[in-house]
Amino acid sequence: MTDESRATNPKQRRQVPRPAEIFELMRFKAPELDATKRRLDAALTIDDLRTIAKRRTPRAAFDYTDGSAEQEISLARARQAFQDIEFHPQVLRPAEHVDTSTTVFGGPSALPFGIAPTGFTRLMQTQGELAGASAAGAAGIPFTLSTLGTTSIEDTKAANPTGRNWFQLYVMREREISYELTRRAAASGFDTLFFTVDTPVAGARLRDKRNGFSIPPQLTPGTIAGAIPRPWWWWDFLTTPKLQFASLQSTGGTVGELLNAAMDPTISLDDLTVIRDLWPGRLVIKGVQTVEDSHRLVDAGVDGIVLSNHGGRQLDRAPVPFHLLPDVVREVGRDTEIAIDTGIMSGADIVAAIALGARFTLIGRAYLYGLMAGGRAGVERTITILTDQITRTMQLLGVASLPELTPAHVTQLHRLTPRRRD
């Protein structure tokens, strides 16, 4: 070796490590004895919670949550749309303290997301809507109860007595059922009604058909086989109160069969007028999927719209709400508040939606994955994960509050572009 090479590559001195120095580097973490907390603490993303939920929940119940309609193209496209974005951070803009609070539909929310309405929720985990409502209340965000929920309006209010409760309404074949639910929600102090318009009939949810998933669950060879490695789910199901539905007078079929028996394909603007007269609070239309319908509904005097394709569970190949968002904001954003759901799996997704003009977002599957992973504690873990991701994303973008987010912070990258029509 030449003198020059020795100068540029000096020999490293080595020594026998001293035990005291080794122990300085070693840190022993106290074992977590609470099994639920241990598995939830290991979940760093919503997808981690999904993995835990799949492991702990019978296949039929998990697939009901995880699946969507037909080939599940709508859901896949919705999730891909959020991945196909590019953020544009602004540097040298301090955002040490981030304010994630907002107002939506006439009231406050500590975060730019709330819990979406989900049906048959206690089948996913027996704490069901009570876990969701109480966790939402503690976090200062709204909770939405579904017409097909498995907890009553009054019990949901009791679980979230001081927080914001919203009610999602289906117009049933027996109109009086829907009218009575509307009156009960108003009497219980729910402040916003989601009039849902994308479910005149049930979508073809093929996973449910293949699994023979019924309400209530039936003990078949398939369900028994699925229960063997998950005895805790069946223990919870069999030792807690029987499922009750505020809107279904009879059960005993697949979800699609129950929906088709209850829903009415003749739903129209006339029904909207009747509900508007019954409902004293904010009236929001959920399930809007075109710019034209956005204009029509704003002209009808609604207080807000939710861009949604029902989580991909209705019309497969439906428009992607996140793709539709900028156009709807440009056309009617000055006249009404716009929220969005479908495909949201991270706090970055939420930040992107707010930047492109959404006032608010709703999480459905992300909430249910947490519920299945650990009951109320799992829902709280979902909220914590999303909160941390929102805060970190905003700080990295250089914004300290939600109003500072603008379309300049996000570019939607084009994977699907319409062909020219000759």
The catalytic residues are: 310
286 beta partners: 196, 306
State how far the Cα of 341 lies from the Cα of 190, in Å rounded to an integer: 20
Give me 147's structure tokens: 């017409």
Q: For residues 142 and 153, what is the distance between their CA atoms, to the nearest angstrom?
A: 14
Judge contact between 114 and 102, C-beta under 8 A: no
As a whole number of angstroms, the distance between CA 116 and CA 188 comes to 19
Distance of CA 241 to the CA centre of its chain: 26
Is the Cα torsion angle 317, 321, 326, 329 positive or negative in sign? positive
**270: its two tokens:** 């006339």
74 close to 318: Cβ distance less than 8 angstroms: yes
Residue 370, φ and ψ in degrees, nearest 5: -65, -40
- Residue 315 to residue 147: CA distance in whole angstroms: 20
Number of H helices, E strands in the chain: 18, 14
User: In the structure encoding, which two tokens stand for residue 321, read together?
Assistant: 């709400």
Alpha carbon distance 158, 136 (integer Å): 13
Give dist(CA 80, CA 108) in Å, integer. 30
Q: What is the DSSP string of 136-191?
A: HHHHT--EEEETT-SS-HHHHHHHSSSS-EEEEE--BSSHHHHHHHHHHHHHTT--
User: Nearest-5° angle of CA 229, CA 234, CA 238?
Assistant: 165
**Locus of tokens 């009791």:** 158
Helix H or strand E encompassing 115: strand 113-115
